[in-house]
Chains A and B, each alone.
Chain A
Amino acid sequence: MAGIIEVHNLSKTFVTKDADVEALQDISLSIQAGDIYGIIGMSGAGKSTLVRCLNFLERPTSGTVEIEGRDLSALSEKELRAQRAEIAMIFQHFNLLMQKNVTDNICFPLLYGGVGKKDGGKRGTISKKDARKRAAELLEIVGMSEKAKAYPSQLSGGQKQRVAIARALAANPKILLCDEATSALDPQTTQSILQLLKQINRDYGITIVIITHEMSVVREICSHVAIIGGGRLVEQGRVADIFEHPKTQEAKELIVKGKGEERRTLEDRQKDLMKGKCCIRIVFSVNSSFEPVIANMVLRFGQPINILRADTKNVEGIARGEMILSLPDDAQIQQEMKDYLIERGLAVEEVDGYVD
């Protein structure tokens, strides 16, 4: 089935004084309507150039880009501008007009964009009043109604991106391109923006293309993913398939990098579990490495303990390092265990809800 976006054998070469740089080589993609499609790669892989080729902000050196069957290279300048109104875009640095307030920013594509120019229509098919009304609706959708009159400099990064999303949706686009849209945001804000994108995809059926270097973003919301490395498409397919059976080195590297992020969130969850639990930090210094202190303690008390963190080394027959343990809930046993450890010459210190 032909997708809403079809890219065939696309190459892009930048001609510079010193040398020609091949940013993209022979890339073919098919993105189906309604997909959330991730394009992931390390920085410098060419993914930002690729997304700019999808709306012809960059003209490919060779190959074709078809949007709903229309070859972009065959369009006149005017037709291309009308086409761009259907392909909205959001950016890493939001790119809002700093001298205009939130409402005026959202009205921009309606009043001055390519909308309405299609089919030889004139600009101004929408009045300022209607544009403002539409802006108010959009602010409602992205949850920013109370900031309608604010200027971008008064907003946080996440709020700016919400305004940028509202602006992108203003002209009822069929496609939304996201160029590292969450890369300048903290993890929590990233989550909320991704949820918003998911909701937009579900509610309005807008096809979303997400450019990112973070595997966690792809895993969070994408249905399909293409991995770009060194200007080439190295792997493409369903996110689940690529996660389970990465075929290429690049895919494996990105997934391993992503695992690190996942581990961190696991630790977050663990942290929540540990709240209210009695945790202690023990420091080894004089003990012989040959005495299994923890194992002996578990055997003696017949109670399980949880090792949350361990960093020990055997230095010349003596164990050096530290461990963080979560003790059983029984206060009596806790005290006995602590005494047991102190007897063995370990420094024991209580820590409040273990935090890495």
Chain B
Amino acid sequence: MWTKEMTLMMWEGTLDTLFMTLLSTFFGYLLGLPMGIALAVTDRDGIRPNAVVYKILDIIANIVRSIPFLILLILIMPFTKLIVGRSYGTAATVVPLTVAAAPFIGRMIESSLKEVDHGVIEAAQSMGAGTMTIIVRVLLVEARTSILVGVTIALGTILGYSAMAGIVGGGGLGDIAMRYGYYRYESDIMLAAVVLLVILVQIFQTLGMRMSVKLDRRKR
């Protein structure tokens, strides 16, 4: 039977999921944004080519991205414990989520920045703008729309990952779906959790796309 406690649990699960997703996305960008910028800038046709730096970042991104999230989650548990103090629960899940998201976000930033018209970069160089100025005032500005689309994708992906963390007691809606649906065969609760996850993704997607379109100045 559906009880008041269950509604409360769902509500808390939703908040936990939101907390994990948003915090991990934030930390993910904190690491991934500089990484993506460095990848775009140091690539062979970037504004400051540097084969060594590029190769190192490239390999790091590839390694982390090739480890399945569930394995990564377990693999870095000692590291998680070191930072959060324990290896299960909502706060602990943020650590592996961030580690998994950062290189993924870095790659998206890299590809967004590489879409910027080379002519505009050249124009800025011809005015005497330096590397940092070009990154902040040209690359990030011109790639704004594409970066926002990336944030939308990242939120959806990280939300999915956070649900996966439910398998090892990660907290949030995924955790609820695992515990009730899988271990106790209470499929109505699992279904409710899944519906809530779908709604969250829909909201992120709609808001993100709306914002990116609204901030794009290329249309009349």
- Residues on A facing B (Cβ under 8 Å): 55, 57, 80-85, 87-89, 91, 93, 95-101, 108-109, 112-115, 117, 151, 153-154, 171, 177
Contacts and interface: CB of A to CB of B under 8 A. Distances in A.
B128 A84 contact: yes
Given A81-B129, A84-B127, A112-B129, A99 B119 contact: no
Contact of A88 (B117, B127, B142, B217): B127
Contacts of A84: 125-128
Contacts of B119: 91, 93, 95
A99 B112 CA distance: 14
Interface of B: 117, 119-120, 122-130, 133, 137-138, 141-142, 144-145, 216-220
Contacts of A88: 126-127
12 contacts: A57-B126, A81-B130, A85-B127, A87-B126, A93-B119, A97-B138, A112-B124, A113-B128, A114-B128, A117-B128, A153-B218, A154-B220
Contacts of A100: 141, 217
B127 A108 contact: yes
A26 B219 CA distance: 46
Contacts of B123: 89, 91, 95-96
Contacts of B142: 97-99
Nearest to B137: A112
B217 A83 contact: no
A99 B129 contact: no
A117 B133 CA distance: 13
Given A93-B119, A98-B142, A99-B141, A113 B127 contact: yes
Nearest to B118: A95
A177 B145 CA distance: 31
Given A95-B117, A97-B138, 20 more contacts: A57-B125, A80-B128, A81-B128, A81-B129, A83-B128, A84-B127, A84-B128, A87-B126, A89-B126, A93-B119, A96-B120, A98-B117, A99-B144, A99-B216, A99-B218, A100-B141, A108-B127, A109-B127, A113-B129, A154-B220
Pairs of residues from A and B, 10 with the lowest C-beta to C-beta distance, nearest first: A114-B128, A113-B127, A84-B128, A95-B123, A81-B128, A95-B119, A89-B126, A109-B127, A85-B128, A151-B217
A108 B128 contact: no
A114 B220 contact: no
A83 to B, nearest CB: 7
A123 B75 CA distance: 48
A256 B117 CA distance: 36
Contacts of B127: 84-85, 88, 108-109, 112-114, 171
Residue with the greatest number of chain B CB neighbours at <10 A, chosen from A84, A115, A171:
A84
Contacts of B217: 98-101, 151, 153
A114 B124 CA distance: 10
